[in-house]
Amino acid sequence: MGYNPASVKGPVLNFFTIAILGEITGMTQAPLQGRAALVTGAGVGIGRAVAEALAGAGGFVGLHYHSSEQGARETLAAIEARGGRGVLLPADLGDADQARRLVNDFVGHAGRLDVLVNNAGSPLRRTRIEDCPLDLWQQVLTVNLTSAFVVTQQAVPHLRASGNGSIINNLTLSIQTGGANGAGPYAIAKGGLQVMTRTLARELAPAVRTNAIMPGVIETRHHEVFSTPERMQQYRQETPLGRNGLAEEVAAVVLFLASDAARFVNGALIDINGGRFLR
């Protein structure tokens, strides 16, 4: 039988990823054993897959959610069913006080913070720049950039104290396309997060490594909302690997960046798009 990527899900992918990381690092225990990771937007899609991957690698995981409480609860249940550990953390990251409290609450549960994954974000709705209302513009910047700034700023002292601090920012392929089909404000906000990644990589090193991922088209609820089935098929045809990506495949890269296997990786941007766009 040939390789069927759609059949490679959660714990199976984690098993192979963890085994490879063990070979690279020489570690005999799980690569995140004894560490604590906070994942924003962990209730659905890429965030859920990332939370499951980090927990599967031995990490104690904070599952932040805002509107996806049911999804976050299901994620935690899946983690615990496999012997992992985590905690649910509700917060509206558009509220700076709640964003700061999120970090403090997680450290209160975990006793430490080693990995921060700034995953939460959304285009909210599609609009051309010339038609974008100011309030929507400000909301998109808040959801995708300012919230990550506030959470990161609050997390930095804990990440410095870790000795293994790592920040991974989730960007978007829209940065490279210029926000096609009305995703301009979203692309601009995520572009700011890309620059913040570079800034933090210089400012926080050597105590904390900061990197970013740029997923291409991933088969998640995001595209069920913002892309038509016809457009999703077009994406598959435009991709050299002949398919769209899986959330678990993105999570595997995040796990790599969070682990000691990436201990000399800082300021990097890793494309996960099946070759659809090359830089």
Q: What is the mean pLDDT of residues 241-257?
A: 94
Q: Where residue 1 falls among pLDDT bands split at 50, 70, 90?
A: very low
Query: Tell me, what's the pLDDT at 132?
Result: 97
Tell me, what's the pLDDT at 7?
42
Mapped onto helix, strand or coil, the DSSP state of residue 215 is: strand
What pLDDT, on a 0 to 100 scale, did the predictor assign at position 42? 97
| Token couple for 152 | 């990161």
Summarised one tens digit per residue, pLDDT across range 33-66 is: 999 999 999 999 999 999 999 999 999 999 999 9
Return the H-helix or E-strand segment holding 64. Answer: strand 60-65
Omega before 11 within 30 of 0, i.e. cis: no
> Does a cis peptide bond (omega within 30 degrees of 0) precede residue 229?
no
Report, as residue numbers or ranges, the catalytic residues: 186
Per-residue model confidence (pLDDT) at position 12: 44
pTM here is 0.88
- Residue pair 11/36 in contact (Cβ under 8 Å)? The answer is no
Three-point CA angle 30, 249, 223, nearest 5°:
140
For residue 8, pLDDT beyond 50: no
Second-level CATH architecture of 5-272: 3-Layer(aba) Sandwich (3.40)
Q: What confidence tens digit (pLDDT) does each residue in 125-175 have?
A: 999 999 999 999 999 999 999 999 999 999 999 999 999 999 999 999 889
Q: Is 64 exposed, middle or buried (0-12, 13-18, 19+ CB in 10 A)?
A: buried
Query: Residue 179 carries which side chain, given as an amino acid letter?
Result: G
Q: What is the chain's length?
A: 279
To the nearest 10°, the Cα dihedral for 190, 193, 194, 199? Answer: 170
